[in-house]
Amino acid sequence: MIQKKRDFPTIKPGLHPRNRHRERYDFKLLISACAELAPFVKLNAYNDESIDFFDPEAVQVLNGALLKQYYDIGFWSVPPGYLCPPIPGRADYIHHVADLPGIGSHGNIPSGSRIKCLDIGVGANCIYPIIGVREYGWTFVGSDTDPVSIGSARAIVERNPVLNGRIELRLQDNQSKIFRGIIQKNELFDLTVCNPPFHTSLAEAQKGSIRKLNNLNHKRNASPKLNFGGQNNELWCEGGEAKFIHDMIAESTLFATSCFWFTTLISKESNLKSIHEAIEKAGASEIKTIPMEHGNKTSRIVAWTFLNHTQQTKWIGDRR
């Protein structure tokens, strides 16, 4: 049954001002960039053009269209069952960390290959490096513990000339390590980014997916699909988000002068207090929490640096 057409705001609330995806999807524009999207676009119950966001193939084709239209990415694909993330939220992360003090020069938006970023858990989709390279011209190292993810990300880089020479992929062969074995001797990074595994187990990930389906009034007997796909290292790990980030904080102390800003996404607000306490205990000189809102979902970025004011000033001078 067709319901009365809803009025939506022209600009999506909460997204960063520089985010290209603040307006609602223009499906006609996206289909003109990627004809493969057309069969997936249909009128929904409110007589609006949309896709089925619980169809992994539809989401992957939509992402491909967005990347082609806005970032000049001609080839983008992830293996079946791997994470296919919503692009607007990933773009927001990159835009927010670009605003961190010291990354830009005298308040200017940072751009160019002099800005070097490490993506912990680059995944098969390579989304953060793509957006960082195309929006700001940064260079990236992307690490992952999964060889398939590294292979997929490498294929994306190699098949898109605009990414060549900008993104290096490194396999982390020790799943208990985060920065060790990835950051090399005398190597400097302006930023690290990370979207850590959220859940503590596969069962918890499936339970969350079923809850989301039910909340959106999908069939209650539907087979659970993990959020746009996702392997265990992408969506869950022992101890979940909290343990992963605590381990990251502890290991970041070993590279205190190798990176200006360490950052990570935090999905669960309940984890924020203990994470702040751990960063303070680790001896960080500054801690920042950046809220992000995407529709009904609220998350936040936590950023920390061990550099004092003198070291920050020297870093900016040396790196610029």
Tens-digit pLDDT profile for residues 7-60: 555 677 789 999 999 999 999 999 999 999 999 999 988 888 999 988 989 999
Share above pLDDT 90 across residues of the chain, in percent, rounded to a whole number: 70
Mean pLDDT of the residues in the chain = 87
Amino acid at 309: H
Residue 107 and residue 17: Cα distance in Å, rounded? 16
Select from 2.40.128.20, 3.40.1170.20, 2.60.40.10, 3.40.50.150 the CATH code of 81-319: 3.40.50.150
| Cβ 42 vs Cβ 115: under 8 Å | no
Q: Render pLDDT for 211-262 as a digit per residue (tens, 0 to 9).
A: 444 544 544 444 545 444 544 454 545 668 999 999 999 999 999 999 999 9
What average pLDDT does this structure show over 167-185? 97
Mean pLDDT of 252-281: 96
Work out the average pLDDT over 182-192: 97
Q: Identify the three-state secondary structure at position 160.
A: coil
Cβ contact 121:195 at 8 Å? yes
pLDDT value of position 318: 85
Chain CA centroid to CA 149, Å: 15
- How far from each other are the two terminal CA atoms of the chain, in whole angstroms? 59
* Kind of pairing between the strands at 297-305 and 259-266: antiparallel
Question: What number is the average pLDDT over the span 289-304?
Answer: 89
Dist CA 84 CA 104 (whole Å) = 30
Question: Can you give the pLDDT at residue 298?
Answer: 86
Q: For the residues 142-156, what does the mean pLDDT come to?
A: 97
HSE, side-chain direction, 13 A CA sphere, residue 66: 26
The Cα 165–Cα 181 span in angstroms is 21
The rounded distance, in Å, linking the Cα atoms of 230 and 198 is 11
